[in-house]
Each structure stands twice: as C-alpha cells, then as structure tokens.
Amino acid sequence: MTVAALPEQNKLVTRKSRWMSLTRLWKRNPAIILGIILVTAIIFLAIFGPSLVPYDPIAQNYKVRLQPPSSQFIFGTDKFGRDIFSRIMTGFRIDLQIGIVCVIFPFIFGIFIGLISGYYGGFLDNLLMRIVDISVSFPFYVLVIAILAILGRGVLNMYVALIMVGWIAYAKIIRGEVLVAKNMEYVLAARALGYSNGRILLNHLLPNIISPAIIFAMSDVIMCIMEGSSLGFLGLGVQAPAPEWGVMIADGREFITQAPWLSIFPGLAIALVGISFSMLGDGLSSLLRPTDR
C-alpha cells in the first residue's frame, strides 16, 4: 500500500513546487517577476512606442539644434534638432526586432540541425563539427564583418550575417544534449516500441532537451541587440537616419564634449533592455533547472 502511495505523493510535491503561488514565486525568484514586468513593458513600447512620441523622430529642425534636456525636449535634441526622446521610443521597435529576428531563426534552424546531427551522426555531424571549429577560429565580429564584406553593408545583410553565425551555437547545444539523451531509457523504450525516428525526435527528445537552448536564447536576445547596435555604431548595420540606438550613439560621439546626452540616453536604453532580458533569463534558468541555484 505504502509503495503504491509513494509516487502519488511525489507527484503532488512536484506539482506544488512548480505551481507556486505568485507571492511565493516572488520570494523565491524575484528576478523572473521583475523580468516579466520589464520585458512586457519593453514589448509594449516596441509596439506602441512609435505612435506615442511627441515629435517626428526623423524630421529635422535646425532651430532647436543640440538642445540640452528640458521640459520641452526631455532627453534633449541632436545636431539636426531631432528629439532624442522620440528617437529612443521609436528605436525600441528596431532594436527589439533585431533581438527577436536574430534569435528566432537561428533557434529553429540550429535546433533542427543539432537534433539531426546528434541523433544520426555520420557525415552531417562531421560537417557540423567542422563548421563549429571554423566559427570559433574567428572572433565573432571579424566573422560577421567578413560576411558583410561579401554581402555589402545594410540592415538586411546584417540580419543575414547574424543569422548565419548565430545558429551554430544552438546546433552545438542541442547536439550535445541529444548525444547524452539518445541512450537514455525513455528513448530506447520509444525505439523498442517501434516509433518512427521523427516521432522520437520531436515528441520524446525535443521536449526533454530544449531547456538549455531556451535559456541560451534569453541571453542571446541581449547579445543580438548589443551586436546589432554595435554594427549600427560601426556604420555596418542599420543606417542613419533610422533611430537605431547604436547609430544614435555613433552620431553623438562627435559631440561628446558639448552634448554628452546624445550618446548617454540611447546607451541607457540598451542597458535597460539588456538588464530586463537578463533578469528574465536568470529567473527562467533557475526555474527550469532548480538544482542549479
């Protein structure tokens, strides 16, 4: 009797700890709550920000050049008299889009390749490992810049370059997980039952090994936003006059002595987005891997 009751009890315990009440979650994992609130706010700004701005983010007005922050222009104006606040608000959409596009495509593609490569091995696996070797032989920005040298600079090519480099990490993570998991009992059992490889991969393996990729994706969003703005800063990604934060910081660099706010506010915006996503990522990772805390 007691033997039969035991698994039932365990189930209850895990269910309870997984569906903690909100207050208990807040106590144990405040990062995830704060992260969710901030990221929701950022997504809200990315959707509605461009329509909430007081001024046109691109229209030039030479009468109000390089104004310091005031009640009229709360973050000041740049060398063309454009309102920094309006530009930053519009920039939420651009920078978040970089973060999302450059994570979603590598995420899907990398997981697909990693699953197949780890499960079947053979030629594709060898090829993948060589690609991994090469990609770590170059510093990240050198690789991206070399790809941009071939494709030409600009937003679209920046996306292509970041995606071309980005998927490798996901493939590597998932491949490693598959190599461990494919000899576990639940996979062997599924095989013994005669399930197709596709069904084993998608229904059995994937749900069990996807957490590390999701945790990585959270920090990857931040990295992609930073990479996108860095390329904008270098003049290789998003091009002026688009109000991308990296481009704005680059614009402000020449006025760093007279008008430091030109660079400071867009930088703070990037930092805000970065910190919000890393809180969400940290919270998520301690939720998905409770033993790791």
Containing 100, the helix (H) or strand (E) segment is helix 84-120
x/- string (CB under 8 A) for other proteins, residues 254-273? --xx--x--xx--x--xx--
How far is residue 101's CA from residue 143's CA, in Å, rounded to a whole number?
19
CB 212 within 8 A of CB 177: yes
* Residue located via tokens 């090829």: 127
Q: How far is the CB of 260 from other proteins (least distance, A)?
A: 5
Element (H, E) at 154: none
**Cβ closer to other proteins: 146 or 288?**
146
| Nearest-approach distance from CB 167 to other proteins, in angstroms | 17
Tell me if residue 289 falls in helix, strand or coil: coil
Q: What residues form DSSP beta bridges with 77?
A: 83
Verify binding: residue 150, other proteins, rule CB under 8 A.
yes
Question: Does the protein bind other proteins through residue 142 (CB under 8 A)?
Answer: yes
Binding mask 151-170 for other proteins (x = CB under 8 A): --x-----------------
Query: Between residues 210 and 232, which has the closer beta carbon with respect to other proteins?
Result: 232
User: By C-beta, is 3 or 150 nearer to other proteins?
Assistant: 150
Asked if residue 13 binds other proteins (CB under 8 A), the reply is no
In the complex with other proteins, which residue's Cβ is closer, 110 or 228? Answer: 228
235: left (phi over 0), alpha (psi -120 to 50) or beta: left
Amino acid identity, position 147: I
Query: Does residue 114 bind other proteins (CB under 8 A)?
Result: no
- The contacts of residue 1 (CB under 8 Å, 6+ apart) are none
Among 118, 243, 246, 283, binds other proteins (CB under 8 A): 246
What letter would DSSP give residue 81?
Answer: -
Terminal Cα distance for the chain, rounded: 35
The site for other proteins (CB under 8 A) is made up of: 130, 133-134, 136-142, 145-146, 148-150, 153, 222, 226, 229-230, 233-236, 246, 249, 252-253, 256-257, 260, 263-264, 267, 270-271, 274-275, 277-278, 282
